[in-house]
């Protein structure tokens, strides 16, 4: 019992100096670097995981790569240069935002193309439909007139 | 003994469902009442035996029967009972059994609530659903038998994946599957109508209720899953555009399109072909999701243990069911009539524009999800398509749909003109636009995306408000009785659309104004974030039923008043020796406080991540409102007067 | 007949998708091909496991075809691979250099002492930095490097007798 009280006391003594400076520190030495790291690592893929960003993964390789990216940021490389650095080593697979090139052209313009085709065919169908229905109406009238 | 009983039940269910299919279709062909009623009776037996198999598997989990391979792989004697039962669908085999059971549940519901349907049509509907049951029962029995024995029995199980040991696991999969599988009813209606060549407005009315019901489950199921990821994964995200999430989102988008196009077909008898095609596609995408998740062609955080052989089975099944349906569609399409006439500017054309956008959005999601597979299959290298792509593409595609929403509420069937619409809505637009420009400035941060988000949300709010006011004014009574006097289908539409607005508000606010800090905290230290003071009181050890944990204690104050005591945990699950982060969250109407405990980093200090997430609960609140809107619409008496309609209708 | 063709469009799209899925069943989405194939092997200068005072650099292997095998004592698949490497070294067809990845020297040395050492050199990559330069994402991985110091092939995962016979040896013969 006594021992534990002693422990608590000594723990308190240890804590006391800490209480004097109670403001928690940011985890990183330089928060600005950390903001960029966070932003970048959301666009990069963890290679060993099933499907996670570098930011979300706790795999050892992801931690190493985050550290690598952090150092590259400190070195003063811009986002594009850092991405290229990783692409040279791991290939396009690491980018969650695929580069725009001949291979991914369809991927990037696809959604706009789909919208255009969709609205184009809707417009065409509605017009054709209305003219067909108009014909039917006319025929009906002619038939009625003939009957009459 | 019990597992063998389960297996035997599955075999009996398969035989019965074969009777269900055979008698229904042959009976329908010869218009033989007796045969058709035998087919319907077989569904009862099928339901009972599938359910029995499910209960047997649940019992094996309850009784810790580790001589069953599936139980030994997914459970453990130390696992709490509720998770042992949820573990029934915790792995591939059991979740396929859940699929099958859910399908038989929908089938029995169809037989119970469809007595008013013409007998031949009903038999074809039940037969079609039976065909799907056959596929899944065979899949279960031949490639994914949950009752396979493990000899000799394991002493204890390998435990359920700790990520899945959460109340979310109890609710999310069954509700989601109710949604997925529910689209099989719409599919059945589509096939039955194509077979009989009777695509009528009546058909659209029947299909609409069932589609909306399935859509409600799917909406709630997806929202559950998203909220679960939010608190369980420990980094506060709620949607990752992962392949499996996309696989559930695509049927949702098409289901939403289907509900809107069914409205056009029901009211105006138009675009029947398109509607019937959507009904086929919605369910096809459910099946496609099953294939993507289980075949291993894509990687995903949520994927089951994958197996190309199972993948091949599903692919063949998929090819037969969907391919067959699309061939039938191509054969019957030319004989379908055109329906009522309407102008280029009309409610019909707005609803169809919504359809175009929903389908384009589905296409975009599918393109992003499958593009890596396309390139890989063509030998053109490996790429990844992730959240940055989907965020960049999805928002612009969906934005016009939101603006159409406001227009569509006001537009008239058959014909309308833009100037009149513009005149009626100019105030709604002016108010929304002015607020969208100014509000972010007041909140302290203005970006085009925040402003756009606010604009879209307010546009829906204001147009809904104006529409509601107009409707209420037409009825000359007090506003409360008038409100209850409005058609429920209309109210449901308004509520669901408000749900979209609430959802957009949540997304915009959390993306725009979220505060995130990674801190190094020692006991006694505090951090001031967004007006709140988070004081770290220290960490204590705790022991759970099957894990040990370090529990952090955080005291959150605002202006020296206590707001919350938050207890995030770092758990280690013993059997799989897997660390898990349990975030502590205080939810609120306007903001969530979110603390997650990282690693200890020496000298009593811990890595701590703290978020303040404004309006984040609105994301799921919006989804629940959408579902509530759907529910209101189903409850519209219009759909319950069917029996009389039926008798009157020729 | 032509107007009816458009009703076949959904079926056509679906069949194309099924074709891709069928092809996809044979692929492994988790295997990432190296962009370093046919590129010069990244340079490094790392201490030797056998003698921390000495260094190894790929320059030393100029003029011969060799294998850079990334391994670690903590890696289970490396143990499966070990006999294959031993057989390779006994054949002596090509030199094997180990890159000991994120390991402790003591444990790595123990493994080699107990189950045999197939390596001509073992370079120590304690912090995994060189691994990143080579795009290592899972151990074991092996790179076949030609006389000019160009990477010709990357084996992801353990080398098996099969891979050795059917892929690596024919390639190496061509290079020599």
Residue B282 reports pLDDT greater than 90: yes
Query: Does the CA dihedral B437-B443-B446-B448 come out positive or negative?
Result: negative
- Does A83 share its domain with A135? no
Tally of domains within chain A: 2
CATH code (residue A44): 1.10.8.640
- Determine the pLDDT at residue C2: 53
Q: Range with the lowest mean pLDDT among B528-532, C131-135, C162-166?
A: C162-166
Residue A31 reports pLDDT greater than 90: no
Chain A residues within an 8 Å CB radius of C30: 50
Is pLDDT larger for residue A114 or for residue B474? A114
* Residue range B499-506: mean pLDDT, rounded: 96
Question: B541 CB contacts (<8 Å, ≥6 apart)?
Answer: B548, B549, B550, B551
Is any Cβ of chain C less than 8 angstroms from the Cβ of A106? no
User: Which of A48, A68, A88 comes nearest C35 by C-beta?
Assistant: A88
**Contact status, residue B6 vs residue B60, Cβ threshold 8 Å:** yes
Peptide bond into B152 cis (omega under 30): yes
Contact state of B334 with C7 under an 8 Å Cβ cutoff: yes
Contact state of C24 with B323 under an 8 Å Cβ cutoff: no
Residue B643 reports pLDDT greater than 70: no
User: For a pLDDT cut of 90, what percent of chain A falls above it?
Assistant: 30
Q: β-pairing, B561-566 with B569-573?
A: unpaired
- Does A91 share its domain with A113? no
- Determine the pLDDT at residue B417: 82
Q: Give the pLDDT confidence of C20-70 residue by residue, as tens digits.
A: 999 988 888 777 888 898 999 999 999 998 888 888 999 888 888 999 999
Contact state of B376 with C29 under an 8 Å Cβ cutoff: yes
Q: Give the pLDDT confidence of C126-146 residue by residue, as tens digits.
A: 888 899 999 888 889 999 999
Question: Which tokens go with B354?
Answer: 């919504």
Residue B497 reports pLDDT greater than 70: yes
Question: Which tokens go with B593?
Answer: 């406080």
* Domains of chain C, CATH where assigned: 30-175 (3.40.30.10)
Using CA atoms, how far apart are residues C139 and C71, in angstroms rounded to an integer? 6
- Does A63 share its domain with A115? no
Using CA atoms, how far apart are residues C96 and C90, in angstroms rounded to an integer? 11
Contact state of A50 with B367 under an 8 Å Cβ cutoff: no
Rg of chain A taking only CA atoms, in angstroms: 33
ipTM confidence = 0.90
* Residue range B46-54: mean pLDDT, rounded: 96
User: For a pLDDT cut of 90, what percent of chain C falls above it?
Assistant: 34
Q: Give the pLDDT confidence of B427-441 residue by residue, as tens digits.
A: 889 999 999 999 999
Is any Cβ of chain C less than 8 angstroms from the Cβ of A48? yes
- Does A147 share its domain with A90? no
φ, ψ of residue B562 to 5 degrees: the values are -70, 130
Chain C residues within an 8 Å CB radius of A90: 32, 35, 135, 137
- Banded model confidence at residue A108, pLDDT cuts 50, 70, 90: very high
B166 burial via Cβ count (<10 Å: 0-12, 13-18, 19+):
middle
φ, ψ of residue B613 to 5 degrees: the values are -115, 100
The number of residues making up chain C comes to: 176
Give me the residue label for tokens 């959005």.
Answer: B361
Q: Give the pLDDT confidence of A84-100 residue by residue, as tens digits.
A: 999 999 989 999 999 99
Chain C residues within an 8 Å CB radius of A61: 128, 137
Give the distance from residue B401's alpha carbon to the nearest chain A alpha carbon, in angstroms: 11
Q: Range with the lowest mean pLDDT among A33-37, B270-274, B603-607, B640-644?
A: B640-644
CA distance to B21, B52, B135, per residue, from B138 (Å): 14, 17, 5
* Residue range B260-287: mean pLDDT, rounded: 92
Chain A residues within an 8 Å CB radius of B385: 96, 98, 107
Is any Cβ of chain B less than 8 angstroms from the Cβ of A84? no
User: For a pLDDT cut of 70, what percent of chain B falls above it?
Assistant: 97
- Taking alpha carbons only, the member of B401, B147, B183 closest to residue B283 is B183
Residue A120 reports pLDDT greater than 90: yes
- Determine the pLDDT at residue B645: 45
Rg of chain C taking only CA atoms, in angstroms: 21
User: Which of A104, A108, A126 comes nearest B349 by C-beta?
Assistant: A126
Give me the residue label for tokens 């422990």.
Answer: A7
DSSP state for residue B88 in the 8-state scheme: G
CA distance to B410, B415, B466, B486, per residue, from B471 (Å): 11, 19, 9, 8
- Banded model confidence at residue A143, pLDDT cuts 50, 70, 90: low
Q: State whether residue C127 is helix, strand or coil.
A: coil
Contact state of B319 with C18 under an 8 Å Cβ cutoff: yes
- Does A37 share its domain with A86? yes
Contact state of C32 with A64 under an 8 Å Cβ cutoff: no
Q: β-pairing, B606-614 with B515-521?
A: antiparallel
User: Which of C10, C27, C30 comes nearest B326 by C-beta?
Assistant: C10
- Determine the pLDDT at residue C16: 95
Using CA atoms, how far apart are residues C19 and B611, in angstroms rounded to an integer? 45
Chain B residues within an 8 Å CB radius of A95: 383-384
Is any Cβ of chain C less than 8 angstroms from the Cβ of B329? yes
Instruction: Name the residue in chain A with its Cα closest to that of C139.
Output: A48
Residue B641 reports pLDDT greater than 80: no
Q: State whether residue C51 is helix, strand or coil.
A: coil
Q: Give the pLDDT confidence of B307-338 residue by residue, as tens digits.
A: 778 889 999 999 999 999 999 999 998 888 77
**Contact status, residue B453 vs residue B512, Cβ threshold 8 Å:** yes
Question: Which tokens go with B479?
Answer: 């506003």
- Does A117 share its domain with A88? no
User: Which of B284, B311, B373 comes nearest C20 by C-beta?
Assistant: B373
* Residue range B14-21: mean pLDDT, rounded: 96
User: Which of B311, B334, B374 comes nearest C25 by C-beta?
Assistant: B311
Give the distance from residue C68's alpha carbon to the nearest chain A alpha carbon, in angstroms: 16
- Banded model confidence at residue A140, pLDDT cuts 50, 70, 90: low
Give the distance from residue A44's alpha carbon to the nearest chain B alpha carbon, in angstroms: 9
- Determine the pLDDT at residue B648: 36
Is any Cβ of chain B less than 8 angstroms from the Cβ of A68? no
Q: Range with the lowest mean pLDDT among B104-113, B330-339, B581-590?
A: B330-339
Instruction: Name the residue in chain B with its Cα closest to that of A99.
Output: B383
Residue B649 reports pLDDT greater than 70: no
Give me the residue label for tokens 């960029």.
Answer: A36
Contact state of B353 with A129 under an 8 Å Cβ cutoff: no
Within a domain: residue A140? yes
Using CA atoms, how far apart are residues B286 and B254, in angstroms rounded to an integer? 10
The number of residues making up chain B comes to: 650
- Taking alpha carbons only, the member of C170, C154, C30 closest to residue C99 is C154
- Determine the pLDDT at residue B580: 85
| Cα angle B370, B373, B379; round to 5 | 145
Contact state of B372 with C26 under an 8 Å Cβ cutoff: no
Contact state of C27 with B311 under an 8 Å Cβ cutoff: no
pTM over 0.80: yes
Give me the residue label for tokens 């191509």.
Answer: B330
- Banded model confidence at residue A11, pLDDT cuts 50, 70, 90: very low
Give chains near A: 3+ CB pairs under 8 A: B, C
- What secondary structure does DSSP assign to B292-325, as a single string? HHHHSSS--TTPPPP-HHHHHHHHHHHHHHHHHH
Using CA atoms, how far apart are residues C84 and B334, in angstroms rounded to an integer? 64
- Determine the pLDDT at residue A8: 46
Q: Give the pLDDT confidence of B379-422 residue by residue, as tens digits.
A: 888 899 999 999 999 999 999 999 999 888 888 888 888 888 88
Q: Give the pLDDT confidence of B159-206 residue by residue, as tens digits.
A: 888 888 888 899 999 999 999 999 999 999 999 999 988 888 889 999
- Determine the pLDDT at residue A21: 41
- Determine the pLDDT at residue A139: 64
Q: Which of B61-65, B298-302, B483-487 has the highest mean pLDDT?
A: B61-65
Is any Cβ of chain A less than 8 angstroms from the Cβ of C130? no
* Residue range B266-276: mean pLDDT, rounded: 89
Chain C residues within an 8 Å CB radius of A65: 132
Torsion of Cα atoms, B391 then B396 then B399 then B404, to 10°: -140
- Banded model confidence at residue B61, pLDDT cuts 50, 70, 90: very high
CA C72 to chain centre: 13
Using CA atoms, how far apart are residues B200 and B215, in angstroms rounded to an integer? 22
Question: HEC profile for B604-636?
Answer: CCEEEEEEEEECCHHHHHHHHHHHHHHHHHHCC
C 140-159 residues with CB below 8 A of A?
A: none
User: Which structural domain, as residue segments, surrounds residue A84?
Assistant: 26-99
- Determine the pLDDT at residue A142: 55
Residue B122 reports pLDDT greater than 90: yes
Residue B577 reports pLDDT greater than 60: yes
- Determine the pLDDT at residue B408: 87
User: Which of B352, B363, B387 comes nearest A111 by C-beta?
Assistant: B363
- Banded model confidence at residue A22, pLDDT cuts 50, 70, 90: low
Query: Does the CA dihedral C51-C52-C54-C56 come out positive or negative?
Result: positive
Chain A residues within an 8 Å CB radius of B380: 103
Residue A2 reports pLDDT greater than 70: no
Is any Cβ of chain C less than 8 angstroms from the Cβ of A79? no
- Banded model confidence at residue B303, pLDDT cuts 50, 70, 90: low
Is any Cβ of chain A less than 8 angstroms from the Cβ of C73? no
Residue A9 reports pLDDT greater than 70: no
CA distance to B403, C4, C89, C142, per residue, from C69 (Å): 59, 60, 12, 4
Chain C residues within an 8 Å CB radius of A70: none
User: Which of B386, B517, B524 comes nearest A15 by C-beta?
Assistant: B524
pLDDT, mean over chain B: 90
Is any Cβ of chain C less than 8 angstroms from the Cβ of A71? no
pLDDT, mean over chain C: 88
CA distance to B69, B97, B615, per residue, from B148 (Å): 6, 13, 48
- Determine the pLDDT at residue B279: 96
Give the distance from residue B30's alpha carbon to the nearest chain C alpha carbon, in angstroms: 29
Question: Which tokens go with B18?
Answer: 């074969």
Is any Cβ of chain A less than 8 angstroms from the Cβ of C128? yes
Is any Cβ of chain C less than 8 angstroms from the Cβ of B87? no
Question: Which tokens go with A95?
Answer: 């980018």
Within a domain: residue A6? no
């Amino acid at each position: 019992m006594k021992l534990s009280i002693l422990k608590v006391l000594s723990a308190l003594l240890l804590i006391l100096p800490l209480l004097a400076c109670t403001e928690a520190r940011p985890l990183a030495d330089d928060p600005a670097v950390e903001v960029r790291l966070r932003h970048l690592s959301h666009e990069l893929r963890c290679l060993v995981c099933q499907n996670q960003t570098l930011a979300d993964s706790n795999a050892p390789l992801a931690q190493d790569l985050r550290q690598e990216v952090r150092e590259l940021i400190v070195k003063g490389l811009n986002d594009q240069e850092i991405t290229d650095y990783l692409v040279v080593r791991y290939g396009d697979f690491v980018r969650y935002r695929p580069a725009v090139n001949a291979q991914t052209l369809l991927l990037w313009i696809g959604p706009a193309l789909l919208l255009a085709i969709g609205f184009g065919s809707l417009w065409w169908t509605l017009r054709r439909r209305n003219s067909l229905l108009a014909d039917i109406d006319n025929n009906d009238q002619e038939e009625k007139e003939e009957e009459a | 003994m019990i597992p063998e009983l389960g297996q035997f039940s599955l075999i009996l269910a398969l035989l019965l469902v074969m009777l269900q299919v055979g008698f229904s279709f042959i009976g329908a062909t010869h218009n033989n009442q007796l045969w058709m009623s035998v087919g319907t009776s077989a569904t009862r037996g099928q339901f009972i035996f599938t359910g029995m198999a499910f209960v047997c598997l649940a019992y094996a989990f309850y009784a810790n029967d580790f001589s069953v391979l599936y139980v030994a792989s997914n459970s453990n004697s130390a696992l709490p009972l509720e998770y042992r039962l949820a573990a029934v669908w915790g792995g591939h085999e059991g979740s396929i059994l859940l699929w099958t059971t859910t399908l038989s549940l929908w089938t029995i519901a169809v037989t119970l609530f469809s007595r008013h349907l013409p007998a031949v049509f009903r038999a074809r509907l039940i037969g079609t659903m039976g065909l799907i049951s056959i596929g899944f029962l065979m899949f279960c029995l031949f490639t994914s038998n949950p009752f396979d024995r493990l000899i000799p029995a394991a002493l204890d199980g390998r435990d359920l994946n700790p990520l899945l040991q959460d109340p979310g696991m109890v609710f999310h999969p069954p509700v989601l599957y109710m949604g997925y599988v529910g689209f099989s009813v719409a599919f059945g209606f589509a096939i039955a109508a194509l077979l009989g060549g009777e695509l009528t407005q009546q058909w659209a009315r029947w299909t609409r209720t069932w589609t909306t019901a399935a859509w409600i489950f799917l909406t709630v199921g997806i929202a559950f899953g998203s909220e679960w990821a939010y608190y369980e994964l420990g980094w506060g995200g709620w949607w990752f555009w992962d392949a499996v999430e996309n696989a559930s989102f695509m049927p949702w988008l098409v289901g939403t399109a289907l509900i809107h196009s069914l409205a056009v077909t029901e009211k105006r008898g138009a675009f029947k072909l398109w509607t019937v095609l959507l009904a086929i596609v919605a369910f096809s995408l459910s099946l496609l999701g099953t294939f993507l998740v289980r075949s291993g062609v894509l990687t995903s955080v949520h994927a089951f243990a994958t197996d190309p052989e199972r993948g091949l089975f599903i692919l063949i099944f998929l090819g037969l069911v969907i391919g067959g349906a699309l061939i039938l569609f191509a054969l019957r399409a030319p004989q379908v009539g055109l329906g009522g006439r309407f102008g280029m500017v009309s409610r019909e054309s707005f609803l169809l524009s919504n359809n175009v956008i929903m389908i384009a959005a589905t296409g975009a999601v599918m393109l992003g999800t499958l593009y890596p597979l396309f390139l890989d299959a063509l030998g053109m290298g490996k790429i990844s398509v992730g959240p940055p792509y989907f965020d960049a593409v999805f928002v612009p595609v969906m934005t016009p749909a939101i603006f159409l929403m406001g227009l569509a509420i006001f537009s008239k069937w058959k014909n309308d003109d833009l100037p009149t619409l513009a005149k009626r809505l100019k105030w709604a637009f002016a108010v929304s636009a002015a607020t969208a420009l100014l509000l972010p400035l007041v909140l302290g941060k203005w970006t085009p995306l925040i402003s756009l988000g606010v604009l879209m949300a307010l546009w829906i709010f204001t147009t809904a408000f104006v529409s509601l006011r107009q409707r209420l004014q037409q009825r000359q009574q007090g506003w409360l009785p008038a409100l209850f006097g409005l058609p429920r289908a209309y109210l449901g539409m308004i509520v669901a659309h408000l749900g979209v607005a609430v959802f957009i508000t949540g997304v915009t606010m959390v993306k725009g104004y979220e505060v995130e800090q990674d801190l190094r905290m020692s006991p006694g230290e505090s951090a001031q974030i967004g007006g709140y003071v988070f004081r770290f009181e220290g960490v204590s050890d705790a022991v759970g039923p099957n894990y040990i944990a370090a529990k952090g204690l955080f005291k959150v104050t605002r202006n020296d008043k206590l707001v919350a005591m938050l207890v995030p945990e770092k758990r280690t699950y013993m059997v799989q020796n897997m660390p898990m982060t349990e975030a502590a969250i205080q939810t609120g109407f306007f903001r969530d406080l979110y603390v997650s405990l990282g690693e200890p980093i020496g000298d009593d200090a811990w890595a701590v991540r703290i978020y303040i997430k404004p309006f984040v609960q609105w994301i799921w609140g919006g989804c629940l409102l959408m579902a509530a809107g759907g529910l209101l619409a189903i409850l519209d008496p219009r759909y319950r007067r069917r029996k009389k309609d039926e008798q009157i209708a020729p | 007949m032509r107007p009816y063709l458009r009703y076949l469009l959904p079926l056509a799209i679906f069949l194309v998708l099924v074709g891709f899925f069928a092809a996809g069943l044979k692929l492994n989405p988790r295997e990432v091909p190296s962009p370093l194939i046919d590129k010069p092997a990244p340079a490094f200068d790392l201490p030797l496991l056998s003698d921390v005072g000495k260094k190894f650099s790929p320059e030393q292997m100029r003029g011969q075809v060799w294998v850079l095998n990334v391994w670690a004592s903590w890696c289970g698949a490396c143990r499966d691979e070990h006999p294959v490497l031993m057989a390779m070294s006994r054949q002596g067809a090509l030199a094997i250099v180990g890159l000991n990845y994120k390991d402790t020297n003591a444990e790595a040395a123990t493994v080699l002492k107990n189950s045999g050492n197939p390596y001509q050199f073992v370079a120590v990559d304690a912090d995994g930095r060189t691994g990143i330069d080579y795009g290592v994402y899972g151990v074991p991985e092996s790179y076949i490097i030609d006389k000019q110091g160009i990477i010709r092939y990357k084996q992801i995962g353990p080398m098996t007798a099969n891979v050795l016979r059917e892929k690596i040896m024919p390639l190496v013969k061509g290079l020599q």
